[in-house]
Amino acid sequence: MIPQPETRPISQEQLVAEVKGIYAGLVMVESKCIEVDTAQSTQAESTAKLNNEQWQALIALHRTLLHEHHDFFLASQHPSASPALRRLSQKYAMPARMWRHGIHSFLELLRSRLPASLEHMLTFIYLAYSMMALLYETVPSFEDTWIECLGDLGRYRMAIEDEDIRDREIWTGVSRHWYAKASDRAPTTGRLYHHLAILSRPNAYQQLFYYSKSLCVAYPFKSARDSILTLFDPILNNNQHQLPLLEFTFVKSHAILFIDQMMADYNTTKTEFIARLDPTISRCAKGWNTIGGQIAISNNNAILEYGKTDANAQGDKNVILAALTLKTGSAGGDVPMDGSEADSAETDGEPVPSEMFGIIQDFVKDCDQVMFNRYGDNNIMSYLHVRLAYMYHMAQNESAMKHLEDRFPWAQVTRLLNLLVVDAQDLERTESEEFPRPTERPLPEDWTMRGHLWVEGLYPDDWFNSDKFEEDEKVFELPSMREHRRTRVLWFGRRLASFRKWIIYDKESKQYQCSYVLSHQAGCLVHGSLPKTLPRIARASTTDSTATMTDEMADSEPEDFTKSEAEDASSMVVEGDD
């Protein structure tokens, strides 16, 4: 047996005294850091140029503060600590203070002095990253905070890398890993999707998807309304010639709808996008399910007018958002979406859709019609899945559905469902009211839909067990997923048919019929039947188009993950302490 070092138990009184002593020293170092960072930030760069020794002294000062915080967390979260002692870190906002005064302010000072401060900034980023990684391993009580901090530090490191493209890609991947991990733990927090959008360059489809998602979750990140313009402005100015034309026209259409300007260009842009959509899918089958899912989600969020709070004719929020029941509360210090409380009932009169709402719906309808005309094409299944999930959620809210039902191509969906029924392997599962679980693995688009307002309550509580899957595995398309996706689509069809308003399902014939009659929905008859012949689909090639866009430095600094910060204190009071 290997002899172990002798250890002595520590009493509660000793632990309290230790924490108080650490905190007193921490406050002194923290005050000095605040003083130095503020003084340097307010001085002009020309008069405040620091030499290497001075930079090293500042790094040493902030390193000391980080070590003091580390000691404080270890002592206050000690296994022998009382509940009152454990609560001190939260009570005195220690994680937020560590980030703000120990890391963020100094990083911003270093960034403002680039390129002269580059080597020192690299040194400090590695130092701070190591400390956060250590806290992530040793202080699990604030694991969510450490994860987002690691993502922020990775984004800083990525942003200042201009020479080695490989290093930049590595740190982009590191930052994306931590933000994705954070979003798995807080899927309704829009701030995290905003960060992922910045890291998605040069993929414009993915950027738009993440930016729109950051604005259309229960806790939207309002600053994304400004950040998204870094994607839109170059495209609106026709400066993104590297993008494939379909990607360019799709994002430009959304850009015009978002800013509600340049409408003279809109019809031309939309027409070109719609005209190129079908032939592009035929040529670029590889990876189109992923792109199709992102397009569908961006379109769904566009119908919400990108979460605008002044969208309709009364100056209120979007009529669909007004109709949805939003939960109140707090997630990671974010503010819930305006109007999430039941104050909408006090509004006089029925919400009136904005003019833009109708324009957006027409855009989505045109996109739907192209996609849903590709009968028998597996490449549009993710798009169909996402759109049906959206409509199913809205169907459960009559106030929302009445604004959507007229512009959804029910007849085309009916034909698609009837084609899928023919080859379905498990119809019994699709007819059940329970969420179909042919596999314990979520579909790739399940992860991308997760957190949106329009899938609230859809998935079982244990459906997203993120600990079982690596990030790359979540988006990896397995051959078996084709059948699972068909099952899910048919299940949504069966759920929509249960309302007996838009489509109906005959259990005997195992066929769907369109029951929603509207003059502009050609071919949608109460007793309609499947046409004898269906359009043929061109065989898709295996070529895939890739988008290239000039990488830019991250345009926004990492925001504080906690919005409240305690006042600096020179002494600490432990509950129950005499």
How many other CB atoms are found less than 10 A from the CB of residue 259?
Answer: 14
Which tens digit of pLDDT belongs to each residue from 2-47?
765 655 677 778 888 999 999 999 999 999 999 999 999 887 555 6
pLDDT at residue 325 in the model? 56
* Mean pLDDT of the 113-130 span: 96
pLDDT band at 266 (very low <50, low <70, confident <90, very high): very high
pLDDT band at 238 (very low <50, low <70, confident <90, very high): confident
Torsion angle, alpha carbons of 215, 220, 226, 232, to 10: -20
pLDDT band at 353 (very low <50, low <70, confident <90, very high): confident
pLDDT at residue 333 in the model? 44
What is the value of pTM for the model shown? Answer: 0.84
Rounded to whole angstroms, the Cα distance separating 239 from 412 reads 37
pLDDT of residue 147 exceeding 90, the answer is: yes
In three-state secondary structure terms, 186 is: coil
pLDDT at residue 221 in the model? 95
In three-state secondary structure terms, 506 is: strand
Rounded to whole angstroms, the Cα distance separating 258 from 404 reads 19
pLDDT at residue 1 in the model? 59
In three-state secondary structure terms, 505 is: strand
Three-class DSSP labels, 192-221: HHHHHHHCCCCCHHHHHHHHHHHHCECECC
> CB–CB of 503/516 below 8 Å?
yes
pLDDT band at 548 (very low <50, low <70, confident <90, very high): very low
Which of 138-147, 460-469, 491-500 shows the lowest mean pLDDT across its residues? 460-469
Rounded to whole angstroms, the Cα distance separating 236 from 234 reads 6
Q: Which residue has the higher pLDDT, 359 or 548?
A: 359
> CB–CB of 427/510 below 8 Å?
yes
The region, left, alpha or beta by phi > 0 then psi within -120 to 50, assigned to residue 260 is: left
pLDDT at residue 537 in the model? 39
